[in-house]
Every structure is written in C-alpha cells, then in structure tokens.
Structure 1
C-alpha cells in the first residue's frame, strides 16, 4: 500500500476507532452509503451477532446490505501491531451459481470499493479484481466463489481469527455447504444469509425460526420508494411495481373477512389477501405452510405481538393458573415450566438437569409455584399438568404423596376422551383424535387460530416458535387426527420439543372454570 502522511494516519486511526465501535458510522464515512433504519439494524446485528438471517422481498437491497456488512467486517476486524498483522481476517461470499457472484454480489462490492477510494481511503482498500479484494497480507482478503456441494475442501482455507461467510440466494444452497461453513464458525466469526423465502424447508428457512439466529424481514411494502411514492433509492423496488403486484397477485376482501393469519394486509384503504407469489416477492413471507403443518408461522407471530402489546398497554388476563410441566429425562438437559393464565402465557422457565433425574427439585418448584399463586388469588386454585409417561411419573407421584391438590397426570398415549368416555373434539365439533397427544396439540392450534378470534398471547421465544411451527399432522384411515411421532420432531429440531409439550399440557381437559378480572400491570 502507498505511503501516507502522519496527518492522514491520525485521521484514519480516528475513523477506524469509531468505525470499529459503530459499523454504521464506518459505512457512512468510509463507504459513503446512507442506510435506512432496517438496513442499519441488520448491519448492527452482523457487528454483534454470529448468525444473521435476512429474508427479503424483490429488489429490497438484500445483496447491497450484505456487501456493506462484508466490507465493514473486512476492514474493521484485522489487528496490527507495529505494522505486523497479528489477527487475520478472511471474508468469503458464495451463491448457488457463478453468475450470481460475478454479476450480482461482486458488482455491489465494486461500487462500495470505488466509493471508499473516492472518499480518500484507497490506501487501505487493497486491490480489487473480478472475484477478490487482496491486500499486501496473504491472510487478509475477500473472495467470492460458487458454492459446490461436492467440494468441501474449498472451505478448508477459511480458518482465521476473524471469518465472515456471506451467502446470497441462501435458500438455493445445499445442506452440505452449510455443514462445511458451520465447521469454520469458530472464534470471531459471522455467517449472514440473504434470500427470498420461496420454500418452507431447508437451512435458510430454518434460520428464520431458530433461536440461534438474529432474524430480519425486508418487506417491500416498507421500502422507502414505496412509502414515499417516489424514487428515493435508485434501483430499489418502487411504488408502481408494488401497486401492480397488489392488483395482479392479490384478492380484494371485505374488512369483515380480514385475517392477519392468512397474511392479509391493507393497501390504499382497502384489504387484500396475497397469493404465494406476493407473499414471497413482496411481503418476504414464506409460502403458505403445507397442508400437513399444524400451526402456521404467522399465527405464532401474531400471538407473540399480542404478548408484547399486553406488556406495554395491559389487558385483562385470567387469574387462574394452569401450569404445564415437562420433566427432563436422564438424557435431556432441561425441565420446562409453562404458566398459562387464560389467554396469557407467562415466560417459560427451563431448569437444567445436568443429565441427572432431578425429580425432587422439579416437584419442589411445582409446589412453590402452586402455593405462590394460591396465596395471591384466594379461591382461584392453581392446577399443574404433568406428562406422566416417563420421567414425569416420579414428580407426579411425589406431589400426590405430599397431598398437593390440583395436580393432574397427563398421559399422551391415553384415549382422547372425557371422563364420561365421550370422544374429545376440536372447537368445531368435527374432528376427533387418535390419542391425547393429538388432542392437546390441536387444542393449541385452535387457541392460536385467528379465524376463531384468537386472543392468545405467547412470550417472544425463538425456541417455542420453532417447536410450534414444526408440528406435522395427518388423518388416520378412521378419520381421526394423529400427530407425527415425537422422534421425528426431535430429528428435525435436534432437541426435544419441551416448551411445546409444557404448553400443550395446560390444555389437558378438566372441569375448571376460568374467571377473568382486570389485572392490568400485574405480570407473571
């Protein structure tokens, strides 16, 4: 790199000092870009989070913000002492095809690179080529190349103190590639995915549900050009394009039929229901769940938004506690406590078992929860529901031994019948169930269903969300509904769906009558 004056060195040192602390500042001053609030939030996520997932509508700037993040990482993370590179940085950008790297990703990098040079920082920018930015240090570089599922060796050179993996069109990348990338996510590393949500399956789709990821959705309805009805950001999606897609890809509906659970939205004073093309390309939503998905993703999102609103505005909630308890086994990490007060679910508590049966501890915590509630609400006795197939049997037995009232044994394998032997049904009375597990899972579905005027409130919890959205169901030959085997869910989630099970336990049927009163400002 060319020699620079002492004054310029001091200026650069100050810029880098501020830039390392605030990548949005670096993007503004060095790269010369102006980011909208959503883009700034994504860049800050990449600065501080190891894994960031960005689902996007068409022409919403997803590759642009990826390029900004990649260059912020490239120039802000290496460490020098007396001119020697002591902490190296490597940035890898990949996509399903070479064309996407050469014609989409690298041109974004090139434009930012040229701005950086024009802003007076060319001395530190390195040398740009069609697929790379190289510096005077072999261990400090950016490179882009096509993802090849059969070539894991391509990723073997990306061990560094600071590593960045940017994946564009991420839903088109094979699972084997992600396995290779994750093998390099050590130390100070980042992985950023940007994609259109054109499928409900695969690594990228799971990233929008998993607690491991910071998640963002670039909805084209919120784009600056669309909101202001004029070109504010050249090249981004514009008002005219969105207006045309509203007319061609959406159905006008009556206000009375408006259902957020279907992805319905309001545009220019009218209500619309989108088809899957509009969901993917404009709203940055996944296509509607397949017919075997028990609980649509958007139903869960709505319940979590109501929970947040309750915390800020306050709503009446039930003062009757139904406590679902899922007990950890020897090979599992945690027991789960789920407190539900009518439509309101309090924050779930996970208790680590350290791989050992901790029945007495779980029993003691259950007793404390029951007693605390009963002391607070005289006459509104708490009830606890414990799955007694497996480890929960020991906890239930101990509570019975202690004479604790209001404790119920839930057996998922038992018949889905009431105490009189009548078949339990869904809210419509149309469906019956193969076993109690299927009934309880469907009861959660009915509770969350917006078409049934749901008021359900779930705490924001990525793990719970992933478990709720992962349940599959089908009809048996006798017409009864059955839920997929739990082992299949464990295989997909790579863990037991403990939070889902604890929530489902709270819907175990009994004769309890719930009473509602105003508890605004009281949180559990």
Structure 2
C-alpha cells in the first residue's frame, strides 16, 4: 500500500481514523513484505504491545489527557529504533500540529543512528510526501505550519536544558522519546517532566534503553517510580529476527544469571554495573534483614556525621551498632555549628554512643563546638591515609568495610530510599596501581546523582575500631576492652 493508491482526501481520512490506534497505523502505513521490508510481515509482537498500550490510553476519554509514560528495557537487537520511527510517523501523520522531541545518550548516537533510523521510517511511509526530512528535524511541508508541526532531534546537556523546558503544545499532542535512556542525565529527565503539565493535551513519553546502569532515572522507572510508568523488560531471545545463535553463545559462555546476559540478552538490570562499587543485590539483601535486639545490643554504638557541603545537600547523622543501623537525623544544610553540635550531643547521650565520627571536610566547626561541651568526638579526613594499603584513601577504605558489613548481614531500613540510592550510586575510578578509589561527590553530581551524604555518614561508623564503654562510679565511663567493632585489618 503506497501513497499513490490514495487520493489526498482518503489519506487524510485514513490518518484521522488511526488517531487513537498507532497499532492500526503501523499496519497500513508501510508496505510490509515489500522492498526494504521484504523480510517482515509486520511489526514485532513487542512493538504491537507498546502501540496497544498507547492506543488503549488514548481510546479512553478518562485517561486521554493524562500523561502516559512508557519505559522499555531490553537486550540488543529488538528493533527499538524502528518502533520510535513508527511512533513518530503515526503521531506526525495523525495529529495536526504535533510536536515531538527526541534525544539520546550522546549527540553522536542521536545524529548518526537515532535520527537517520527514524527518518528512514518516514521515507518509507505512505505520508512521506507530507514531511520535510532533515538531518536533525522533520517538519510539515505546509508552509504555514512547519514550525508548529515538527519533530526535533535535540542533544542534551545538564548545563543547557532549555530546549526541554520549552516543550509545550497545549490542547494538541506532545511525544517525547528517549533513546539509550540509561545514560541520559537525571537533570534532563527532571526538566522534561515540566512538559507533562499542559491541560487537555495528549502527552506521551516513551523511553528505550539497554539496562546498563543500576542507578539513575531509567533504572528508577522500574523500581522507585514503577507505579508512574508502564514498564516492559524484553528478552532479545523472544523477539523475531534477532541472532539467536549469538545470544545463546553469550548465555553458554557467561551463564543465564550473569550480568552480561541480564543486560545484553534478558533486558534485566545488572546485579552490579561495571564500575559500581556496591551491588544492588547486596543492598536488597540488607533491606530484607530483620535483627532481634540481642543480636546487636552487645556491640558498641557508633555515630557518623556527614555535614552538608552544598546548599542542596542534607546533613546526615547515622547510627550503627554491630549489624544494625539507623538514621538519627536528616536535615537541610545548617551553617550554625553550635546548633548542630547541640543536636549531636543530645543524640550521643540519648543513644549512649561509644564513639562519634565527623567528616572533617565540613565538620570542623561542629567538632570545635563539641570540644567546648567536653565531647570527645573524632574528626575523620576522607582524603586521609587508610590503614589497608589496598585503598587509595580513608573514604574508600570506610566504604570497603561497609561493603563487607553488608555482605556479612548488615541491616538497613527497608523504607529508607535515600540510603538505598546512596549505597548503590558511587562508582570506582580505575587506577594503574590497582588501589580502590571511589569517584568524588562532584563526579557523582556530574552524572546526575546526588551527593551520597547518608551513605557517607554510615561509612564513617567504620572509621576506627571502637571499644564499648562501661560505667565507672557515678556516670563516668571508660573503654571496655572486650567488644571491638570492625578491625579494618581483618
């Protein structure tokens, strides 16, 4: 079925009839089984599924003008770009003054792969003569509507998100497409959400990607925000046209449950990303641990304090006693060191802490105020020399001990989402000498992740071996030499 078989009136009527059915449009707008599509009888089942989700959403007047968000994580070779091409052509053909913004993980990916593939599907469509297909845009050929009826391929930058902030099309339709979404900066996701506020507007946001990272907004589409997204995880082996022999080789060589097979074949997120220091599996297990008090009450009580270092960070105070942990305070940045020190002193007394460790980077004022109060708190320099020579600095060593603690049965609050995200966020930095070094807070922010202050405060509880104190006389204490928490040389 090609455009010459239709007069323009019939073609317009066909497009209008498919407005709420991208699945039907995908069947009639291309010559399946002919030319470039000679090996294909029609869209793949998973593509039909996505089109059905969108069609059902639009067919229902109660949901039509509510934003629809669809996330697709998959192995390789399933035809993500083809689906983006079909969806783009459907929206542009069936809705007047449609606006589409498409981005990808890098400008190179967008310019050399995503945009050309979508352009190919426009050229093969029965409405190809309706559109001017350029390298980084597709516009209506109507001279009066080329600026209001268009698709733009926009490279993203966390420092320049204006193009996404301006995505509005009140009363009409917006289609937002992310390709290779795992590596798109969280700031872009946040700004893009601003496009979801127009009333009486069809708004569809579809994100595609290989699940390469265990942190970031794409990962959270399937975890923390899964109730906001319609999620699909697609195994490449279930998709017609993929190289089944090669996929089986990956399984045979690496194992069904290996991370390489999870990411490249099964469309599952890895247990641990390539550079990720603490795996999601370890943290998930820690969330499921339930301890009786007698299983940790014998151990020293240790408090870690990580002060906020920029305005959007929080000051975190964590307690750990053996395998037990608890958040004591999470506060906005507070430059009143005396006020914070008073709070810390109260918590130290309330919980009978045997040691308090404070990040020296921004905690010297709190420490000094504590000295005036007669408190024996300790400053810990993250950049200081570790005891274990396998670590580059003290911070890496403390995180290493925390990782061992998690594997040994450490327990965290299953409802503490911030701590969960902090623990799985940091990546290692490769070094020629083989020493373990974690990326800095600045580098994490450059990747779109928040500063892991809560996890750093928990790490501080591993700063030094701690002996449990025992009462002597009238309220005085002295170290008890029996229970010592975590010797870093073990």
TM norm structure 1: 0.53
SS for the counterpart of 1:249 is helix
Would the aligned equivalents of 1:333 and 1:352 in 2 still touch at CA under 8 Å? yes
Asked if 1:305 is matched to 2:284, the reply is yes
- Aligned match of 2:336: 358
- Aligned match of 2:209: 196
Asked if 1:279 is matched to 2:263, the reply is yes
Aligned pairs (5 A) from 1:48-127:
54-58=72-76, 90-93=99-102, 96=110, 97-102=114-119
Would the aligned equivalents of 1:323 and 1:340 in 2 still touch at CA under 8 Å? yes
Map Cα deviations across residues 74-102 of structure 1 (whole Å, 9 max, x no partner): 9xxx9xxxxxxxxx985545673345325
Offset, 1:105:
9.4
- Aligned match of 1:7: none
Cα distance between partner residues in 1 of 2:442 and 2:384: 18
Asked if 1:388 is matched to 2:352, the reply is no
Cα distance between partner residues in 1 of 2:382 and 2:147: 56
- Aligned match of 2:194: 185
Name which of 412, 415, 435 aligns with 2:393. Answer: 435
Cα 1:149/1:395, change in 2 over 3 Å: closer
Cα distance between partner residues in 1 of 2:139 and 2:325: 51
Offset, 1:393:
1.8
Map Cα deviations across residues 165-205 of structure 1 (whole Å, 9 max, x no partner): 52243359998xx969948935716784523327659xxx8
Asked if 1:461 is matched to 2:422, the reply is no
Asked if 1:415 is matched to 2:385, the reply is yes
Aligned pairs (5 A) from 1:306-321:
306-310=285-289, 314-316=290-292, 318-319=296-297, 320=299, 321=301
Would the aligned equivalents of 2:166 and 2:195 in 1 still touch at CA under 8 Å? no
Cα 1:31/1:325, change in 2 over 3 Å: same
Cα 1:333/1:382, change in 2 over 3 Å: same
What 5-or-longer segments of structure 2 have no aligned partner?
1-8, 10-19, 21-51, 105-109, 468-482, 486-490
Cα 1:159/1:145, change in 2 over 3 Å: closer
Aligned pairs (5 A) from 1:487-502:
487-493=442-448, 496-502=451-457
Aligned pairs (5 A) from 1:125-140:
none
SS for the counterpart of 1:471 is coil
Name which of 234, 237, 241 aligns with 1:220. Answer: 234
SS for the counterpart of 1:305 is helix
Cα 1:184/1:142, change in 2 over 3 Å: farther
- Aligned match of 1:471: 427
Would the aligned equivalents of 1:147 and 1:173 in 2 still touch at CA under 8 Å? no
Would the aligned equivalents of 1:70 and 1:164 in 2 still touch at CA under 8 Å? no
SS for the counterpart of 1:208 is helix
Offset, 1:440:
1.3
Offset, 1:385:
2.0
Offset, 1:213:
8.3
SS for the counterpart of 2:344 is helix
- Aligned match of 1:114: none
Map Cα deviations across residues 6-49 of structure 1 (whole Å, 9 max, x no partner): xxxxxx9xxxxxxxxxxx998538549xxxxxxxxxx99x8488
Would the aligned equivalents of 2:422 and 2:455 in 1 still touch at CA under 8 Å? no
Name which of 300, 314, 339 aligns with 2:319. Answer: 339
Offset, 1:295:
0.6
Cα 1:443/1:389, change in 2 over 3 Å: same
Cα 1:445/1:180, change in 2 over 3 Å: closer
Cα 1:357/1:168, change in 2 over 3 Å: closer
SS for the counterpart of 1:351 is strand
Offset, 1:358:
2.5
Offset, 1:359:
1.8
Offset, 1:283:
3.2
Cα distance between partner residues in 2 of 1:26 and 1:167: 14
